[in-house]
Amino acid sequence: MNGMEISTILQLTELKSFDDNWNLTKKVTSIVDSSEGRKIIIHILDIWNNVNDDAKQIWLDIIERAGFYPYYIDKVSSNNQYALSLQSQIRTAFFKSDYLHNVYFHEQQKEIEQALSLGSNIAVSAPTSFGKSLLIEEVVARKKFNNILIIQPTLALIDETRQKMSYYSDYYNIVVNTRQEAKDKNIFILTAERVLEFLDLPNIDFFVIDEFYKISTRRNDDRIDALNVALIRIMSLDPQAMFLTPTVDSLSKKFREKYQIRFFNTDYALVNTNLIEIRNRNGNPYSGKSKKMQLFKLLNRLNEPSIVYVKSPNEAYKLANEYLDWLEENSTTNNSLDIFEWIDSNISPDWQLKRLLQNGIGAHNGALPRHIVTSEIDLFNSGNLNVLFATVSLIEGVNTVAKNMIVYSHNKGTNPIDFFDFANIRGRAGRMGQYFTGNVYIFNDELGVEEFVIDVPYIDQHEISDEILINIPDDDVLDTVRKEKLTSGLDYDLQDIIKRNLISVSGQKNLYYFIEDKYEQLNFLRWRNVPNYEQLWQTLYLGYRFLGSNDRQGFAQNKAVTALKLINTSLPQVILEQKQYYQDKGKQDPINKAIDYILKFQRNEANFKIPKLLAVIDSIQKYVFEKKGISDFGDYTYFSSILENDKIDERFQFLIDYGVPTSAINKISKIIPANISGEWNIINYLKVNFHAIKPVLISYEISLVLKVIN
């Protein structure tokens, strides 16, 4: 046993012999603080029921020595035969949280918790299974800070964090969007964009950025500018800060020095990862149809929850449907899920996602309505779905893990994934306390290790966009000549508008010069409330021409048509009209093409891009017309708000962020009196009067509303 390779040890399914246990414990004792030692210990925990009973007390001592206190306490408390010595009791008490009920830190969590207690700014780079989110909850549970800000990259992660933090809602006001009011003590859970939109944000005492790697120029993330500018704004308030990221090699030295950040970089993991390459008889990766067949055979063989990583939503749906067709019999496992009634009424009975869900298969798509994304994840976590085909929007945007992670594609959209992407995908396999070992099946060549150092553009300023540069305080700017060129000829009010808009500086300047030069001919800009088609497409055309990358009038006209349909017509009707359009064009499967197009438009264009574009044009046209002494300028805020929030009354828009379908919100809004406003007043009204509201809701809507009010 002593001479056995670690890879062989990790394949053991039992360890019944006491002598074999004794020899292995001696080996592990000498390497207990190494990654290899921890892997063996985790494997022993994985096969615990098949380990010699007399050897378990020895293993428990080693588990404690490794600092695996969550596992140690779980095993000790589940069996009265394991008695803690006085020394063990003292050590265990040290690792117990003083604020979280029955929670024990592992060794390295405790080290970070102590640094937080000393008031240090910290950055943590660690594997997915490290338990970084527990550190956030520890800080919140202490109730030491008046205002805590947690920046999350996606709305799904915001909702997940909100649900965890709701336990503390008796002490803190939980704020997840800019329409909610701040109180004396708040936890703000926001995207970087929403931080910048929050004009009356109070002084922040404790600041967290989760998924901090997204701030780096290396990631080419769409929201890098907003994250950098939010960092500038909040760190100027001098809060205590914590930056969390999956495993990276290092973090900008200048950034660490500027804010006196302690950097904890560790490979300490509480689950093992078993890499399995899927290869043909020649040892090469499969391709084409044979690759697909191997995937289907693998999925059919696996009995545990499995996530299949694919490059795009189209590939997710295509593979999911082909896998269902490949199965000899469609074993309908989910005949009566509540979500089906909602799909039939609000999307279409013929939606391909319904057929997949009925057969225990999911296809995750970031363009789906938020509540469907959440419900699909819940169905997967509860075992109603055994397979989930997923894109990077799930891997980076939702905290979901599985026993098996299958890396089918080596692309992220049209670009190849790099080692960091691969490590992030790989990290979703396994779950602390549930799947001690996660399996990662690789269909392509395994990527070589690459160094990843997180640069912070606003600090390092090696590669920096105009949009970040213009927001950096003058004293911190390295290339002063470049910044002066950006602001030359602009008065302070216009500079402030351009800074806040956080979109192409040169595009905004050109748009300003165009409107100022031709303002007398641009009456179509002076609309308010809901525009007509002519006003909207011409306004959008200016936006796409100067701020986007498309100067075709037809492009703006198509966007305007669909946006106005969503405002003036019900979603099922818009889908049916789009289906008819595809049918007339002779397209195959017109209903699912229509659903995909409309839902994608609604989530990406109507809920985000068009309101953002209109806000920029709105700010500049107002500035020009006011400067010219014309008070009859446009105001796009109402239209942008109803487009962004699916026509929901402003009083109830927070319920969208809480995962309630707009269909339910529309029904609720007709019952709640007009004089009831404010998040907690509305939630309280729902609680007290739910017996009167429940009859108008379908089962799926009831379950999601109950999640909010409970």
Q: What is the pLDDT of residues 298-314, one digit of tens each?
A: 999 998 889 999 999 99
Greater pLDDT, 646 or 86:
646
Model confidence at 1: pLDDT above 60: no
Is the full-model pTM beyond 0.95?
no
Question: At CA 424, angle to CA 418 and CA 429, rounded to 5?
Answer: 130
pLDDT for the residue numbered 419: 87
**Is there a contact between 312 and 413 (Cβ–Cβ < 8 Å)?**
yes
CB neighbours of residue 289 within 10 Å: 8
| Average pLDDT, integer, range 517-544 | 97
Look at residue 396 and tell me whether its pLDDT is greater than 70: yes
> 323 with 386: CB under 8 angstroms?
no
Looking at residue 255, its pLDDT comes to: 98
CB 244 within 8 A of CB 263: no
Helices (H), 519-651: 533-547, 553-568, 571-584, 590-600, 610-627, 637-644
Q: What are phi and psi of 429, to 5 degrees?
A: -90, 125
Mean pLDDT (whole number) for 436-456? 91
With cut-offs at 50, 70 and 90, classify the pLDDT of residue 330: low
Amino acid occupying residue 395: I
Q: Is the pLDDT of residue 332 over 80?
A: no
- Is pLDDT above 80 for 235? yes
190 in Cβ contact with 132 (< 8 Å): no
What backbone phi and psi angles, to 5 degrees, belong to 597? -65, -50
Mean pLDDT of the chain: 93
Q: What is the pLDDT of residues 64-122, one digit of tens each?
A: 999 999 999 998 888 777 777 888 889 999 999 999 999 999 999 999 999 999 999 99
Give the residue-averaged pLDDT of 691-695. Answer: 95
Highest mean pLDDT: which of 84-93, 369-378, 446-455, 659-668?
659-668
| CB-based contact 705:663 (threshold 8 Å) | no
pLDDT category of residue 156 using cuts at 50, 70 and 90:
confident
Nearest to 644 by CA among 676, 605, 674: 605
Q: What's the confidence (pLDDT) of residue 656?
A: 92
- Name the amino acid, one letter, at 302: L
Among 565, 708, 531, 484, CA closest to 636: 531
Region 703-707: mean pLDDT is 95
pLDDT of residue 80: 72
Q: Is 331's pLDDT higher than 70?
A: no
Position 644 scores a pLDDT of 95
Q: Which of 319-333, 534-548, 601-615, 622-636 has the lowest mean pLDDT?
A: 319-333
Question: Are 605 and 574 within 8 A, CB to CB?
Answer: no
The yes-or-no verdict on residue 47 having pLDDT over 90 is yes
Predicted local distance difference test score (pLDDT) of residue 460: 96
The percent of residues in the chain predicted with pLDDT above 70, rounded, is 99
